[in-house]
Amino acid sequence: MKQTGLVIGGGLSGLFCAGFLALLGYRVELFEAAPRLAPVVRGFWRDGWYFDTGFHYTSGLGEGGILARVFRFLGIADALQVVRLNPQGFDGVRFKDGEEFLFPAEVSELRRGLAERFPADAEGIGAFFNQIDRVCNGLPMLKLKPRSVPDAEVENAWRCSLQTVINKHIRDPRLGRLLSLHCLLHGVAPEHVPFAVHAGVAGLYYRGAHTLRGGGERLVEVLRATLLSLGVNVHCNAQVTAIKLRADRSIDGVCLQDGREFVGRHCIATLHPHALPGLLPDKALRPIYIRRLRSLQSSGSACCLFGYPKRAIPQLEGRNLYLEFDSANGQAPIYLTRGSGEAHSGVIAICPEVETDWNIPDYRERKRQRLVEIQQAIECHSPNLARDICWVDGGTPKTFQRYANAPVAGLYGAAHCLDQVNPQPRTRVEGLFLAGQAVVAPGLLGTALSAFWACQEMCGDQRLREGLMTCQ
């Protein structure tokens, strides 16, 4: 008889877990609290424009990339159209004084472009990118392999910050800004993010960035259809309120808010780790582990503007654009994107936000003020660009928190930062595993990797790894 795998949370992590488990022969029950799957990446439509809120671009979709393998293994690759962002510049940066820089999707080209622009730092640029490459190549999580012989450089890269490495190699502050720009992809400031995390995230983007036609909505729909065809039971409006344990403290099943109960000896929780202890009986987890989960810091959050283009915007054709401000005034870069870049793709502007607690009495007024400030910052930085966009709405950290049904705000859930130990996929409760951005890495790639590690641990053999490695 098939074993039952219970998956809590129907975001991307949960969808990937459900697919892997079904292919490994489990009978799968997937529970999502929201009315529809993956509310964060699904995005929304307004007046004929599609706003791809939670997914704009990713690494790992080039030939042989990890996500490309995952898509093939799950049988969704043919239903998705991968779009390569402009290889001459997948991300553009415009400084306030008008200088522009493009990030080409080829590390050697990027190094050359930076060395031409910052000749005095040419040697440091080489050293920085060599280090990014070595650490990125040495990360076991990206090779889908357990850590074997520890690599001293990779181990050190978990203990030092991106800023430390930049300070060591780079003198020009503007170059330093360019090299820390992609912190927006993990939501941790350069002085707090372990160099290993930044190398694993940004290092892969430097090798090529892709998006999907139809954006996050298409990905979710294709995943959903595939899960149904694999026999996964998908339950929406299904908030898990408790994880039941047997007397021997192994998993027995889950209880839903509507009173239904499901039995199963294996469970993967993909929700924010802060929420996990509240689902388990007292003493199921050690107090020190609970403290560790609850003290995990959040990744940075953001306010966001949604608008539509009044005419074609060349700076956002096949690429994204970062507006860089002088560091002196404390304004973080504002990131603009049209996601999958289709005719109906709306413009999204994301502005990192220091204030994450937006549960305040005058929320509506504060939100209005903040969105006006961001709009003005864009107008002041790039008036011509601003004239081409009609802003229609916006969101705050509270908006994203509500969409993710998360206990705290953070674009990428719990952060990966220095001086904190993130949870492993296996927990002390027999049969209970963790997946999600807190476990391995942030973003779409992080959700797929975390699902891989949780399912691999659960099935206890190498079938999943072997299956993925043979998928080209």
Ligand X SMILES: Cc1cc2nc3c(=O)[nH]c(=O)nc-3n(C[C@H](O)[C@H](O)[C@H](O)COP(=O)(O)OP(=O)(O)OC[C@H]3O[C@@H](n4cnc5c(N)ncnc54)[C@H](O)[C@@H]3O)c2cc1C
**Residues lying near ligand X in the complex (CB under 6 A):** 8-14, 31-34, 38-41, 53-58, 239-240, 270-271, 275, 304, 350, 400, 404-406, 411-412, 436-437, 442-444, 446-447
Cβ 283 to ligand X, closest distance in Å?
A: 20
**Contact by Cβ (8 Å): 124, 171:** yes
Task: CB nearer to ligand X: give 275 or 293.
Answer: 275
Helices (H), 323-381: 363-381
Cβ 270 to ligand X, closest distance in Å?
A: 5
Task: CB nearer to ligand X: give 53 or 427.
Answer: 53
| Separation between Cα atoms, residue 19 and residue 230, nearest integer Å | 8
SS3 track for 17-29: HHHHHHHCCCEEE
Strand partners, 31: 8, 235
Task: CB nearer to ligand X: give 11 or 307.
Answer: 11
Cβ 152 to ligand X, closest distance in Å?
A: 30
**Contact by Cβ (8 Å): 69, 470:** no
State whether residue 461 is helix, strand or coil. coil
Neighbours of 96 (CB within 10 A): 14
The b-or-e profile of 426-455 (16+ CB within 10 A means b, else e) is ebebebbbbbbbbbbbbbbbbbbbbbbbbb
State whether residue 233 is helix, strand or coil. strand
Cβ 421 to ligand X, closest distance in Å?
A: 19
Cβ 339 to ligand X, closest distance in Å?
A: 8
Task: CB nearer to ligand X: give 10 or 425.
Answer: 10
Cβ 241 to ligand X, closest distance in Å?
A: 7
Residue with token string 């290889």: 87
**Contact by Cβ (8 Å): 242, 255:** yes
Cβ 336 to ligand X, closest distance in Å?
A: 12
Residues 6+ apart with CB under 8 A from 227: 15, 18, 19, 22, 28, 30, 234
Please give the backbone phi and psi of residue 225, each rounded to the nearest 5 degrees, phi first: -60, -40
Sign of CA dihedral 316, 320, 325, 329: positive
Task: CB nearer to ligand X: give 267 or 404.
Answer: 404
Cβ 211 to ligand X, closest distance in Å?
A: 8
Cβ 86 to ligand X, closest distance in Å?
A: 16
Task: CB nearer to ligand X: give 164 or 239.
Answer: 239
Task: CB nearer to ligand X: give 125 or 334.
Answer: 334
The strand pair at 27-31 and 4-8 is best described as parallel
Q: Half-sphere exposure of residue 203, counting CA atoms within 13 Å on the CB side?
A: 21
Which residue of the chain is nearest ligand X when measured via CB? 11
Task: CB nearer to ligand X: give 163 or 401.
Answer: 401
Task: CB nearer to ligand X: give 42 or 169.
Answer: 42
Cβ 203 to ligand X, closest distance in Å?
A: 15
Residues 6+ apart with CB under 8 A from 129: 107, 110, 111, 206
